[in-house]
A and B are shown apart, each in its own frame.
Chain A
Amino acid sequence: MCLAIPGQVRAIYDSFGMRMGRVSFGGIVKDVCLAYLPEIAVGDYTIVHVGFAITQVDEESARKTLENFREMGLLDEEFGEVV
């Protein structure tokens, strides 16, 4: 559960006053809270943990990490078990 996965911000919106975003993790798109990264913009990459963006990363490292995680089956592990 402590895994944090890089993704790309595709859209930013407001939900009950909270800064939220649609973030794509190699094709899997999730709603993510962006409140802790007030500067992040559409197109930027971030590392996401339990639905929260915790830090911004560059595109190259994000892509590389995503590839590694996909190879290791960690994407299914992270997003697969939720009802």
Chain B
Amino acid sequence: MKYLDEFRDEELAQHLAREIRQIATRPWAIMEVCGGQTHSIVRNGLDQLLDGAVEMIHGPGCPVCVTPLELIDKALHIASIPGVIFCSFGDMLRVPGSHMDLFRVKAQGADVRVVYSPLDALRIARESPGREVVFFGIGFETTAPANAMAVHQAKLQEITNFSMLVSHVLVPPAIAAIMKSPTCRVQAFLAAGHVCSVMGYWQYSPLVEKYKVPIVITGFEPLDLLEGIRRAVVLLEAGTPQVNNAYERAVSFEGNKSAQKLLSEVFEVADRSWRGIGKIPLSGWRLRDAYREFDAESRFKVSTITAEESPLCRSGEVLQGNLKPNECPGFAKECTPRHPLGATMVSSEGACAAYFNYGRFVPVESIQ
């Protein structure tokens, strides 16, 4: 594993960090929405490099973390049905449901398979007639085109033993929900680069206008993140909230039109519950009626499941940026990546896992 001191562009990174510290006339609070960015920031110690000039607040952009507990329980239920092949991205297997996780269901004999792409699940369905193949279709806008294509192809190729348990969430409604919260401390956002590769960034202007908050489209590498933070600080200092694209090499204003076209054919916007946060209106996608036959929730009739969260877990506050992982009483004690109480400790993009894996055991105030 490599950290910033071994990073080839360390000098450039130090230079950017110095510039940010110089521009900032007061400490600013900036939220990186995406969990991939959280990991890059914590792994490379970018927040520490800024030395108090900017506080990075870690956002809810970890699809594994915000997939609602009820849906995990439904996944566990479906995976346990004899004859079902349950396919998922690897991150989901250790996410705790109310009483179990997919790994334990698998150990008890369920056919649970980790796939790289939803098309792998579709291939398994094509090759396994007579078996029901269910794909756990989670994710933000980045992942949605892949899941939309899998369902679309299932319909075209008449692969009727394929279905999808859909839990898609969207970034702009989450930003709105965070800004509306009375405890919100966020002054600017780094928007996730690859979400915008798909969706473009035209959706962010109304948010900037409504909440007077700068939003900078940002990539995932250390220099990308520092440049995104620098631009956000420049906008904050100037008092000119705008949308700014700091990830031009991979993001255009209009995004990927082919992907957007299929997304709107397969999915429609719907209310979604976010684990730890609650229901956010119109914050996700579900399958349209034309694709309902491929909806695992209606195919397997699993609508009456009551879910129970661990009483100790405070991941909801972590996901909303109101609590740093190492401020949670259970952090690194009852809750570790080996025995996670909440999804934020499981996922490779969860803030709690990032703090644990990179040794952030003590809150900053305790060090000072």
Question: Would A50 and B35 count as touching, CB distance under 8 A?
Answer: no
Question: Would B114 and A16 count as touching, CB distance under 8 A?
Answer: no
State A57–B222 Cα separation when bound (angstroms): 18
Question: Would B197 and A71 count as touching, CB distance under 8 A?
Answer: no
Nearest CB in chain A to that of B261: its residue = A36
Question: Would B192 and A2 count as touching, CB distance under 8 A?
Answer: yes
Stretch from B68-76, B149-157, B160-168 forming part of the interface with A? B149-157
Question: Would A2 and B140 count as touching, CB distance under 8 A?
Answer: yes
B259, CB-defined interface residue at 8 Å: yes
B221, CB-defined interface residue at 8 Å: yes
Question: Would A1 and B197 count as touching, CB distance under 8 A?
Answer: no
Question: Would B1 and A81 count as touching, CB distance under 8 A?
Answer: no
Question: Would B114 and A1 count as touching, CB distance under 8 A?
Answer: no
Within A1-21, the residues touching B (CB, 8 Å) are 1-4, 16-18
B146, CB-defined interface residue at 8 Å: yes
Number of interface residues of A (CB under 8 A): 34
**Which of A52, A58, A65, A82 has a CB less than 8 Å from the CB of B145?**
A52
Q: What range describes how many residues of B lie at the interface?
A: 35 or more
Closest CB of chain B to A37's CB: distance in Å? 7
- Residue of A2, A38, A47 with highest tally of chain B CB at under 10 A: A2
Closest CB of chain A to B11's CB: distance in Å? 15
State A2–B256 Cα separation when bound (angstroms): 17
State A77–B90 Cα separation when bound (angstroms): 10
Contact (A3, B153) CB under 8 Å given A50-B118, A51-B146, A52-B145: no
- CB<8 Å pairs between A and B, sample of 16: A2-B34, A2-B35, A2-B143, A2-B349, A33-B149, A35-B149, A37-B258, A38-B258, A50-B139, A51-B118, A52-B149, A54-B198, A54-B259, A55-B250, A55-B256, A72-B2
* B→A interface (CB under 8 Å): 1-2, 6-8, 34-36, 40, 43, 61-64, 89-91, 113-120, 139-140, 142-143, 145-146, 149, 153, 156-157, 192, 194, 197-198, 220-222, 249-252, 256, 258-259, 262, 347-349
* A→B interface (CB under 8 Å): 1-4, 16-18, 30, 33, 35-38, 47, 49-52, 54-55, 57-58, 61, 65, 67-68, 71-73, 77, 79, 81-83
